[in-house]
Structure 1
């Protein structure tokens, strides 16, 4: 090290100066310089001994209380670990330092700076495109099905059914469902082929009817008088008239039908056995291989759409990425309470994580120190702090020289 040579040179200079004054004729100036060089030589040697004694035995002689760092390597390691855990990585210190960074603000500015470059945007989209292309959707399906089945199993269906029933009553879903069913029935009944079907069925059943006496004679006469077309048309008219009556608000039969629908829904909503069977049926359907195939098809369709959108965005240079990022940052900045809570949670997580694991850093530090032999440890310490310590030798020689001049001058005054 350069400072070591400077320190050695200062000691040599003091020694050479002292030896030179021994051969000079007596003179007050020579005596003054001799006292200075002598004190500087003593100070330089004393500080050389002190600095050397920290790292090794001076001149290789095992003098007591030398090579202090090697003798105290365990104490040094423990002190470093203690300082790391109790001072550098304690909760208050970490929290204080992290608050100065304003993590979310720093993250927002960093992300904004990154997405300004077209190459970064396109690179990020290309990476996302590659990851999405290689994503094994087929292997994800069983986990999705398992999650859906697990979620269904945790649902308490009775409160859900009661809430749905209450909502249905408020939104009048029962009336809408009835009106929809009546409209579909009207459409079906109005078809010509429906009339033919109804006439054929009625004609067949009348012929199969086994009624004796006058009633039987009347039925047979009516069946002979009415053909399939007439029967079909008559039944169609009757059904359409009935549907029209049920479609009118306030109709007595309509109200009775709605009341029965509501009663059945109420009974269903309070029947736990039926609800649990329904829940189990849904869970079984969700776990069925056909459902897995359906989910995979939907996922593949979604992936195709996303890949197409990413390809288009890459061609546009990722402009939407900038728009999305800026929008998200503006929304976060507007929600100060939300961002403050989020930052506090992040800080708490980091602090708790470091506090729970900083002992690992201490163990790693101690393990690294234990793996170093004495020579390597001394070399490392000298590289880190040796340069500054060598200046102690230089200062010791210079201070000794000045003090020697002062003491010699005091002797003259005495």
Structure 2
């Protein structure tokens, strides 16, 4: 039984006792005892009815009386505005939120959270990229790239500008670019598929060069004696190839320096090389090539991150590679990570400064969705129990006050004070 029902039951019981005491006093026996009972019950009934009227008047019009009743519906807009202002300017004020952020050192917590969850962040990024790519309309992407080509790329793609950009980038980060290229080359050569390809080429050469009967007999003898073993030869060749490619990582390597010199020479003569840039621009900016490029970016590709493996789009794989490289570099550098988290915290504060009004707007919009009935139910759900206790207390306190008044009137006022007052007047 809820408190409202309890209050109603108590008021009903008090009303029944009032009728009983009334009949007892005026129709059966009238003495000090029945007078005491009637006075106490009458006061309890008055207290209970008064508090019922007061509590009901908060929500609606009791007994149809409209004078200062239905307070919540009547003041609905004032309640909503006051609530929004209180939350926006007091409970969740700019100063309170900023103080809370500074006190809890949000930047350090963000940093710790990133470090502790960097693998899950990477995996979540893969999933988000795949989900986003899944939702993209390829035809719309193609049209946007074509519009971008017409509006910006052809204008930007000027020979002198491109040459300047490429030369500046290579002159500044040439060694790092070469290292990245050779790292990619090393990882590619290390793959088992390369050794298999070498073996297949050797097997094909063997087949082509041992067509004679005598040659085949000679090769069979050598293979039987382990003098010539194609599988072992391909492995040795693969190891030597990998060793040679790894030497390119040495800044003093002859071939590395030769490649570096050729790249610089190529960039210096880029604008005079038979309009190669212009021809290349015209080629890549063809509509059919743009469509092929977009289709390729949306082909399915295997994405691997540590023990996690999934199938996604090629564009997701490319973007994730860029993200993971930058993310790993930031996470492994405490100074960079600290600066990043401080910027995140500052951005949050700036957003708070600029968009703080949204808190109040959100509360106003939410509460404005409540009609009078819903607002009554909302407030009753939060404080209704306490309000119904007021009704119960009204009957109890009313009865106690009635008892006190009876004692005062019976044992103090009537025998002592009343005669004195009559003598005066």
Compute the TM-score of the two structures, normalised by the length of structure 1: 0.52
Aligned ranges for residues 243-392 of structure 1 at < 5 Å? Answer: 288-290=282-284, 307-310=301-304, 314-315=308-309, 331=332, 335=336, 337-358=338-359, 360-361=361-362, 364-365=365-366, 367-369=368-370, 372=371, 374-392=372-390
After superposition, the Cα gap between the structure-2 partners of 1:102 and 1:402, relative to the gap in structure 1 and judged at 3 Å, is farther
After superposition, the Cα gap between the structure-2 partners of 1:58 and 1:73, relative to the gap in structure 1 and judged at 3 Å, is same
- Contact 1:89 / 1:354 at 8 angstroms: preserved in 2? no
Question: Rg bigger for which structure?
Answer: 1
1:76 equivalent in structure 2: 79
Q: CA RMSD in A?
A: 5.3
2:13 equivalent in structure 1: 13
Which runs of no fewer than 5 residues in structure 1 stay unpaired?
Answer: 172-264, 269-276
2:65 equivalent in structure 1: 61
Shift of 1:66: 1.5
After superposition, the Cα gap between the structure-2 partners of 1:142 and 1:57, relative to the gap in structure 1 and judged at 3 Å, is same
Structure with the larger helix share: 1
Shift of 1:91: 1.6
Q: Equivalents in 1 of 2:400, 2:358: separation in Å?
A: 53
User: Which deviations, in whole Å up to 9, do the C-alpha atoms of 1:88-123 show, x marking residues without a partner?
Assistant: 443223334555593773696499579679xx95x8
- Contact 1:125 / 1:314 at 8 angstroms: preserved in 2? no
Shift of 1:131: 5.5
- Contact 1:129 / 1:307 at 8 angstroms: preserved in 2? no
After superposition, the Cα gap between the structure-2 partners of 1:52 and 1:133, relative to the gap in structure 1 and judged at 3 Å, is closer
Q: Equivalents in 2 of 1:329, 1:311: separation in Å?
A: 18
Q: Is 1:48 aligned with 2:52?
A: yes
- Contact 1:47 / 1:396 at 8 angstroms: preserved in 2? yes
- Contact 2:17 / 2:41 at 8 angstroms: preserved in 1? yes
User: Which deviations, in whole Å up to 9, do the C-alpha atoms of 1:49-99 show, x marking residues without a partner?
Assistant: 11111122211233x212222222232233233334333443223334555
After superposition, the Cα gap between the structure-2 partners of 1:301 and 1:15, relative to the gap in structure 1 and judged at 3 Å, is closer
1:403 equivalent in structure 2: 401
Q: What secondary structure sits across from 2:68 in the alignment?
A: coil
1:2 equivalent in structure 2: 2
Aligned residues: 291
After superposition, the Cα gap between the structure-2 partners of 1:141 and 1:287, relative to the gap in structure 1 and judged at 3 Å, is farther
Aligned ranges for residues 112-127 of structure 1 at < 5 Å? Answer: 125=126
Q: What secondary structure sits across from 1:310 in the alignment?
A: strand
Which runs of no fewer than 5 residues in structure 2 stay unpaired?
Answer: 176-267, 312-319, 413-425
- Contact 2:106 / 2:345 at 8 angstroms: preserved in 1? no
Q: Equivalents in 2 of 1:143, 1:70: separation in Å?
A: 56
User: Which deviations, in whole Å up to 9, do the C-alpha atoms of 1:214-239 show, x marking residues without a partner?
Assistant: xxxxxxxxxxxxxxxxxxxxxxxxxx
User: Which deviations, in whole Å up to 9, do the C-alpha atoms of 1:297-340 show, x marking residues without a partner?
Assistant: 78888887x933439954599xxx9xx79967954766564145
Q: Equivalents in 2 of 1:364, 1:339: separation in Å?
A: 35
- Contact 1:81 / 1:365 at 8 angstroms: preserved in 2? no
- Contact 1:15 / 1:41 at 8 angstroms: preserved in 2? yes
Shift of 1:130: 6.5
